[in-house]
């Protein structure tokens, strides 16, 4: 495939030079900036990536699936090029179609990330819904999620070998919880990228409803599904809150109703409209992004979210989490003062 995508097949707003910071969830964004700011991180990442042969993985898909092109799945090929044009991703990733009834898609790779799309998803969604899903995966690539997800898998595998150490299981469990929380927030970020590229919130909502309930869309209602999301968020006693927390820990993705509610809220927010109006951070400025500011933004976002929720379990842990956030803020302020003193 050529490196530069063509213009989209219908008029949409394009975002030249857009930084992934424009749409990333605050927790996802702060974690990525922290990783990118570590001295020598890229070297470590490449060494870890060398433990798994990306070339072997690509050859497996090249030999056992269908690579989209102008001659194969041309409509899907146009969609991935369209998404790359809108989000200004210079190099169009390869996309492979896999015969698998499970509706799923993923982005893989470090040096040359590519997208894998199951036939179950193609059969389930219409063209505009599928456009959102493909743009969702392009968003993962633009954010670097494919790289960090692969790194997380490697680190998880290495960590499991250390479980015999004293308190090793507890430490590894804590790491896994953190990685899974990041991955769930990364999915929310990619949903936003999917909406930015498709610019069709109804198609995004339909896709999420179908992922939850199948193809019988005429039997479903966006209003009822949103009400279901609100009920999930608001009802239940302390026991239900604990159970929801435990259930979510087992998921690599947020539940569909959560994703539906999040994209509904973001679509109505000023952030989404500002991006459409051309007011968004550029990737040329990524190197100067402040990790401390991102941490503060994350804390503010969670504080607002937790203050608005009526979940009793969240209510019980709110004060403890708030104290931890205050402590973290104090630590960052102290580190900042030390850094300034050293610079002077």
The tokens for 301 are: 């976002």
Determine the straight-line distance between the first and last CA of the chain, rounded to whole angstroms.
51
Give the β-pairing of 95-98 and 66-67.
Answer: antiparallel
How high is the pLDDT of residue 7? 46
How high is the pLDDT of residue 222? 94
CA-based radius of gyration for the chain: 21
Q: List the strands of the sheet with 114-118, edge to edge.
A: 66-67, 95-98, 114-118, 105-108
* Beta pairing partners, 118: 98
Residue 18: which of 272, 343, 322 has the closest Cα?
Answer: 272
Residue 91 three-state SS: coil
How high is the pLDDT of residue 326? 42
How high is the pLDDT of residue 267? 96
How high is the pLDDT of residue 330? 42
* pTM (2 d.p.): 0.76
How high is the pLDDT of residue 2? 44
Which whole-number Å values give the CA distances from 112 to 141, 186, 293, in the listed order? 10, 20, 31
Q: Kindly list the catalytic residues.
A: 137
The tokens for 296 are: 């503060």
How high is the pLDDT of residue 121? 97
Which whole-number Å values give the CA distances from 157 to 144, 150, 171, 174, in the listed order? 20, 11, 14, 14
Helices (H), the chain: 26-37, 41-49, 54-64, 74-86, 119-124, 127-143, 145-160, 168-198, 201-213, 222-234, 238-249, 256-268, 270-276, 291-308, 312-343
CA-CA distance, 33 to 295, in Å (whole number)?
10
Per-block mean pLDDT, blocks of 10 residues, the chain (344 long): 49 94 81 58 56 76 96 97 96 97 89 93 97 97 78 60 52 56 85 97 97 95 94 72 68 85 93 96 81 59 50 43 39 44 49
CA-CA distance, 57 to 54, in Å (whole number)?
5
């Amino acid at each position: 495939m050529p490196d530069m995508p063509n213009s989209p097949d219908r008029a949409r707003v394009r975002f030249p030079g857009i930084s992934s910071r424009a749409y990333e969830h605050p927790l996802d964004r702060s974690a990525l900036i922290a990783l990118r700011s570590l001295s020598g991180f890229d070297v470590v990442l490449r060494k870890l990536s060398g433990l798994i042969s990306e070339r072997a993985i690509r050859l497996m898909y090249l030999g056992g699936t269908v690579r989209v092109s102008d001659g194969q799945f041309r409509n899907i090929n146009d969609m991935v090029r369209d998404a790359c044009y809108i989000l200004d991703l210079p190099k169009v990733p390869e996309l492979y179609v896999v015969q698998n009834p499970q509706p799923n898609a993923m982005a893989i790779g470090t040096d040359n990330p590519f997208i894998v799309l199951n036939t179950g998803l193609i059969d389930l969604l219409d063209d505009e819904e599928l456009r959102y899903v493909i743009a969702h995966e392009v968003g993962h690539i633009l954010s670097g999620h494919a790289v960090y997800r692969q790194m997380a898998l490697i680190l998880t595998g290495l960590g499991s070998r250390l479980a015999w150490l004293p308190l090793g299981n507890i430490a590894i469990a804590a790491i896994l919880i953190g990685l899974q929380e990041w991955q769930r927030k990364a999915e929310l970020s990619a949903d936003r990228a999917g909406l930015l590229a498709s610019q069709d919130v109804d198609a995004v909502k339909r896709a999420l409803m179908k992922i939850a309930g199948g193809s019988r869309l005429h039997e479903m209602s966006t209003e009822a599904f949103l009400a279901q999301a609100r009920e999930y968020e608001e009802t239940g006693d302390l026991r239900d809150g604990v159970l929801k927390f435990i259930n979510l820990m087992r998921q690599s993705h947020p539940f569909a109703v959560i994703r539906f509610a999040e994209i509904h809220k973001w679509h109505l927010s000023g952030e989404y409209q500002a991006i459409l109006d051309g007011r968004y951070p550029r990737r040329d400025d990524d190197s100067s992004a402040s990790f401390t500011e991102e941490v503060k933004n994350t804390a503010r976002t969670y504080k607002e979210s937790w203050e608005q929720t009526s979940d009793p379990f969240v209510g019980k842990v709110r004060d403890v989490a708030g104290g931890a956030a205050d402590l973290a803020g104090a630590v960052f302020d102290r580190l900042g003062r030390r850094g300034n003193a050293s610079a002077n």
